Amino acid sequence: MNLIGNDRVSLGVCYYPEHWQEADWENDLQRMLASGIETVRIAEFAWNLIEPREGSFDYAFFDRFLDVAEKTGMQVVFCTPTATPPAWLTKKYPEVLNATMEGVVYQHGFRRHYNYNSPKYQELCRRIVGRIAAHYASRPCIVGWQIDNEFNCETAEFYSESDSSAFRNFLKRKYRTLDALNAAWGTVFWNQTYTAWEEVDVPRATPTGRVNPHRRLDFFRFISDSVCRFAKMQSDILRRYVKKGDFITTNGIFGNLDSHRMTEESLDLMMYDSYPNFSYCPALYHEEDPTKDRNWSRHLSEVRSISPHFGVMEQQSGANGSMEMMAPVPKPGQITLWTMQSIAHGADFVSFFRWRTATMGTEMYWHGILDYSGRENRRLAEVRDISQKLKKMEGIAGSSYEAQVAVVRDYDNIWNGQADVWQRDLEQASIWGLFQACQHTHTPFDYVYIDHCSKKTLDQYKVVFCPHLAILTQEQADILRHYAEQGGTLVFGCRTAYKDINGCCVTEPLPGLVGSLAGVDIPEYTAVAPDIGSVTALWGDTSLRTILFNDQLAAADGAEVLAEYQEGYYQGAGALVHHRIGEGETYYFGSVFTAETARVFLEKLGVAEPYSGIISAPQDIETAMRRGEKDGESRRFLFVLNYSGEEQMVMLHRKLRNVYTGSVENGEQTLAGYETRVYEIMG
């Protein structure tokens, strides 16, 4: 059973009753239901319809819509409308608006122009959320609630006056004294010492645009804290009214937000907005990127790390578009492919964006299932076909994505890296390289956020990669040590543990808190200069091309150098050190994990192609397994996804049940361009 109350994956759609004639509603809902769409999401931008003037509430519009939903048997996800404050509100209370770093205040006319910290905005949000919940929550058609819409989309930085004073309060809570803040931010450098709290501000424009990096890191933490509090304020109100069994969620994962914390504090599950067709928009197209829409599997893995069973609130069903961006329509098969991609990665509910394309406004080119006229079309036929497939996929909802490999991330390092290329470039290269290698060797992996991890979390994985945890706390180092000592294989990349929690560099020999765990000492390190490009390291007979950075490693007693750099002034220095510890082992690699290097690690550590006894597939195919249980029996479902427009051949090494057709298949199978299959593993 999933959170939507089904034991199968169900479909929804985003619908905007306010964009259409009331006379169309019933017919629209009937057509949706006939197409297998059982839930609509509504009202996320509709504040004015409920509070057209300050303090004057009118519930009639959505009452009438919910009547139609109940008459037709449609389920509803109702949203709080706080992403788009009304014009009357921002005009009267300009302090609710966000501003640029230079202090230019954003104005009405788009969306997400508010700030989270204005006491006035919080007061008005509390009131509208309370009124909406009190009035609508008992309606039988409502099954869930969405808070706001895409926190931190459009902008993830906040510089209003309310933010400045809230930042000061955040810092007072955190540091208590100015001396502690000055020490944490290293303000003695360049005479930045604060002598009164009023002098402390959100980062402001400077001659180079750069600010004290420790202040910036705390600023990102503060933004995340602000969103989490804002979401909690709303969910606390909703919880007082929502019917038993109705869920609370929000949609999208964006920058400067600890979505794990927000979910733990305020949500029943996280929902994602998945638009893989971005990779085919001419303005964003990268010929050399081999992953394209498949890269959304990486995003979906991020969502899964927040909610192992998540929903997709907005699944692409038409061309992306804005006045600035023209884009292709999903090709036949791609809506199914992207829907199955979401489900393969853990989605238990998929809602398309949107039913009919808007005829006006900023998003009139952002296409939904139907075009402007609402006439029957190929995309709706494909949605109908998806719903038929899902009916046959019973038992998948609530099942879990299988992975033996984990890649460790954490928010402090992501935020630290935003302004620090000594971390960011390495991290991005490795995240990308590991993803590609895992995809191309059909090796499912999970992201694990170490700042939301207990000692037990890592136990389920055979191999755990820690690409470049520059900032590492003692508690986190202990989690990693525990995992290795219990029998795990831990793989570090360069530049590990060289910073403390404030983002200041440590004075211990590198790699700081993991030196004894990894059996490594790093007497010297260097970025790889562009004139050199890469330095070869030899691991047995395998040569690794190391790029961007080289930690030059020495092995401590009991550890062993497995690979040495082959060129340049540090020829012969260690590039890879292996250390046995307890029941397990660590590898410290002195560089980044490119796709080629990551592949070598996956293969040498014996975790590549975990399903090779079941299926052999070419690179263009992604495979994923969901494992569930029905009536005490374990059931496994293998997803086979063809991202290319060309036919692809896969080889089944045993009999598998094709869930879509019910037939048993074995041996060579040809998948058409963009075709997907779901197989149940028998026996």
Q: Are 414 and 224 in contact (CB under 8 A)?
A: no
- Structure tokens of 29? 């809902």
**Catalytic residue chosen out of the listed positions 38, 51, 314, 427:** 314
In angstroms, what is the minimal distance from the CB of 357 to ligand GAL?
Answer: 11
Window contacting ligand GAL (CB under 6 A); options: 147-155, 187-195, 460-468, 491-499: 147-155
Number of residues located near ligand GAL, criterion CB under 6 A? 8
CB of 366 to ligand GAL, least distance (A): 4
What is the closest distance, in whole angstroms, from the C-beta atom of residue 400 to ligand GAL in the complex? 27
Given a contact cutoff of 8 angstroms between Cβ atoms, the answer to whether 611 and 654 are in contact is no
Cβ–Cβ < 8 Å for 462, 405: yes
Binding mask 241-260 for ligand GAL (x = CB under 6 A): --------------------
From the list 14, 165, 157, the residue with the least C-alpha distance to 78 is 14
Question: Is residue 151 involved in binding ligand GAL (CB under 6 A)?
Answer: no
| Three-class DSSP category at 185 | helix
603 is annotated as an active-site residue:
no
Assigned token pair, 33: 């239901």
Residues facing residue 39 across a β-bridge: 12, 75
273 binds ligand GAL, rule: CB under 6 A = yes
By CB under 6 A, tell whether 163 contacts ligand GAL. Answer: no
First-to-final CA distance of the chain: 23
CA dist 272 and 252 (Å) reads: 4
Largest separation between any pair of C-alpha atoms in the chain: 79
Q: Are 504 and 214 in contact (CB under 8 A)?
A: yes
Residue 633 neighbours by CB under 8 Å, 6+ apart = none
Q: Which of 38, 44, 51, 150 is catalytic?
A: 150
Among 148-156, 484-492, 513-521, 601-609, the segment contacting ligand GAL (CB under 6 A): 148-156
Specify the residue, 10 or 317, whose C-beta has the smaller distance to ligand GAL. Answer: 317
**Which of 149/430 has CB closer to ligand GAL?**
149
Q: Is 222 in the site for ligand GAL (CB under 6 A)?
A: no
How many Å apart are CA 462 and CA 314, to the nearest integer?
Answer: 34
Task: Single out the residue of 39, 80, 84, 149 in contact with ligand GAL (rule: CB under 6 A).
Answer: 149
Residue 222 token pair? 């503060």
Task: CB nearer to ligand GAL: give 78 or 366.
Answer: 366
Active site residue 633: no
Query: 275 or 593, CB closer to ligand GAL?
Result: 275
CB 562 within 8 A of CB 590: no
Four-point Cα dihedral 592, 596, 602, 606, nearest 10: -140
CB of 529 to ligand GAL, least distance (A): 40
Q: State residue 553 phi and psi, 5-degree precision.
A: -100, 140
DSSP string, 517-534: HHTEEEEEEEEPPTTT-E
CB of 272 to ligand GAL, least distance (A): 11
Region of 149-157, 164-172, 215-223, 417-425 interacting with ligand GAL (CB under 6 A): 149-157
Of 273 and 446, which has the nearer Cβ to ligand GAL?
273
Closer residue to ligand GAL in complex, CB, 366/674: 366
- Closest CA relative to residue 428, chosen from 400, 436, 17: 436
User: In this structure, what token pair is assigned to residue 535?
Assistant: 């330095």
Residue 18 one-letter amino acid? E
Does position 158 interact with ligand GAL (CB under 6 A)? The reply is: no
Among residue numbers 524 through 543, which ones bind ligand GAL (CB under 6 A)?
none
Instruction: Give the β-pairing of 75-79 and 142-146.
Output: parallel
Task: State which residue, 155 or 526, has the beta carbon closest to ligand GAL.
Answer: 155
Q: Which is nearer to ligand GAL, 265 or 363 (CB)?
A: 363
| Least separation in angstroms between CB 145 and ligand GAL | 16
Q: Which helix (H) or strand (E) holds 42?
A: strand 37-42
Beta-carbon count within 10 A of 34 CB = 11
Q: Which is nearer to ligand GAL, 95 or 363 (CB)?
A: 363
Q: Output 111 or 392, the one with its CB closest to ligand GAL.
A: 111
Query: Under the criterion CB under 6 A, does residue 156 sit at the interface with ligand GAL?
Result: no
**How buried is residue 33: exposed, middle or buried, by Cβ count under 10 Å (0-12/13-18/19+)?**
middle
CB of 314 vs ligand GAL, minimal distance in Å:
6
Residues 6+ apart with CB under 8 A from 141: 66, 69, 70, 74, 75, 76
CA distance 640 to 643: 10
Identity of the residue numbered 286: H
Minimum CB separation of residue 111 from ligand GAL in Å reads 8
**Residue from 33, 137, 153, 233 in contact with ligand GAL (CB under 6 A):** 153
Residue span 334-363 as binding mask against ligand GAL, x where in contact by CB under 6 A, dash where not? -------------------x---------x
Whichever of 112 and 216 has its CB closer to ligand GAL, that residue is 112
> Which residue in this structure is represented by tokens 């991290």?
427
Task: Give the helix/strand (H/E) hosting 571.
Answer: none
Q: Give the tokens for residue 471.
A: 């900032």
- Residue 381's contacts (CB-CB under 8 Å, 6 or more residues apart) are none
Kindly state whether residue 150 participates in binding ligand GAL, applying the rule CB under 6 A: yes
Site string for ligand GAL, 285-314 (x = CB under 6 A): -----------------------------x
> CB 14 → ligand GAL: shortest distance, Å?
7
Binding range to ligand GAL, per CB under 6 A, among 146-154, 231-239, 447-455, 598-606: 146-154
> For residue 652, what are the β-bridge partners?
615, 667
Listed residue (211, 183, 179, 184) closest to 195, CA to CA: 179
List 47, 159, 185, 366, residue binding ligand GAL (CB under 6 A): 366
How far apart are CB 319 and ligand GAL at their closest, in Å? Answer: 11
Two tokens at 363? 């998003």
The smaller minimum CB distance to ligand GAL, of residues 163 and 314, is found at 314
Number of H helices, E strands in the chain: 17, 26
DSSP 363-378: TTTS--SB-TT----H
Given the rule CB under 6 A, which of 145-153, 462-470, 567-575, 661-669 is the region that contacts ligand GAL? 145-153
Min dist. Cβ of residue 283 to ligand GAL (A) = 14
Distance of closest approach, residue 321 Cβ to ligand GAL, in angstroms = 8
Instruction: State in angstroms the smallest separation of the CB of 224 from ligand GAL.
Output: 19
When asked if residue 148 is in the footprint of ligand GAL (CB under 6 A), the reply is: no
Closest to ligand GAL by CB, 364 or 538: 364
Q: How far apart are CA 508 and CA 427, in angstroms?
A: 22
Please tell me the distance from the alpha carbon of residue 160 to that of residue 144, in angstroms, as a whole number: 33
Residues near ligand GAL (CB under 6 A) are 149-150, 153, 273, 314, 353, 363, 366
Report the catalytic residues: 150, 314
